[in-house]
Amino acid sequence: SYETYLETAEWLLSRTKHRPKVAIICGSGLGMLAETFTDQETFKYTDIPNFPKSTVQGHAGQLVFGELKGKTCVCMQGRFHMYEGYPLSKVTFPIRVFRLLGVEVLIVTNAAGSIADDYNTGDLMIIKDHINMPGMAGQHALQGPNDERFGSRFPPMSDVYDRALGKLALDISTELDCSNLMHEGVYCMVGGPSFETIAEARLLHKLGADAVGMSTVPEVTVARHCGLRVFGLSLITNKVTKEYDSTEAVEHKAVLSIGKMRAGVVQNLVLELVGRVDLTPTRLQDIQEKQIQ
């Protein structure tokens, strides 16, 4: 309920001096982004009222507030997934809390397998669109009663990923001399926790997916419903097998190791993006605090 989100937002506002305008969600093995924050204040998920608990290896399970390139940010070191047994209302719970804290921009990172033939392990993909497989099957993050205080009943999703932020990220990648790693593509979310069968991989390829993972889409959907600008970035940690004579098999440990290998590149890209993102001059935080009061 709206009151539950308010309770959590009020709890955080009363315990941190920071008023974040940018929120960052770190995927598997990418939690090091929060370590670059200055003037940090950290809260374990287990201590935050109504927050779910992260159970996946590579997800630290804490919320970090701080300054990054002159912007006040909040970072999730670890996200929540359907396959952990959480309903989508819990998976996406932090997003509406961020909205009430005054966040305007959401940056999401994830680890993903490549469906596209020309993607290599260690590449990066700016998400330009997504395929919501659980949503198409009736498990949608906006299912249930709609609260107009967050957004409209039928929000459009044709502009879910902010094109200006995507272009800015491409420009930054050229400056950082890592444009050879960059792609723009379509991310497909599946429920997990099992990795894809060969038949499933072939189907996703025909549907137009370039990369596949088990997260991101619910959070992004709720973020757009709330009016946040969204930038999504996938780290390609493995190639999804589409041939029956292949002997390759993906393991979660390998996913984490690729995350560590590309940690510096992802970190520098996001750092520069946060530093250059334009925020509105109006104090959305003031509006939200009045609502809480």
Catalytic residues: 28, 59, 81, 83-84, 111, 214-215, 238, 252
Amino acid identity at 123: D
Amino acid identity at 293: Q
Contacts 24+ apart (CB under 8 A), 60-64: 60/31, 63/12, 63/94, 64/34, 64/37, 64/40
Name the β-bridge partners of 64. Answer: 42, 75
C-alpha to C-alpha distance for 10 and 245, rounded to whole angstroms:
55
Phi, psi (rounded to 5 degrees) for 35: -70, -15
- The separation between the first and the last C-alpha atoms of the chain, rounded to the nearest angstrom, is 17
Residue 75: which of 16, 15, 124, 35 has the closest Cα? 35
- Exposure pattern of 155-166 as b/e (b: 16+ CB <10 Å)? bebeebbbeebb
User: How open is the CA angle 231-120-275, to the nearest 5 degrees?
Assistant: 30
Looking up tokens 């924050």 gives 37
Q: Write the CB contacts of 64 (distance below 8 Å, at least 6 apart in sequence).
A: 34, 37, 40, 41, 42, 43, 74, 75, 77
| Alpha helical stretches, state H, 38-162 | 88-91, 93-101, 133-136
Beta-strand (E) ranges in 29-104? 38-44, 62-68, 71-77
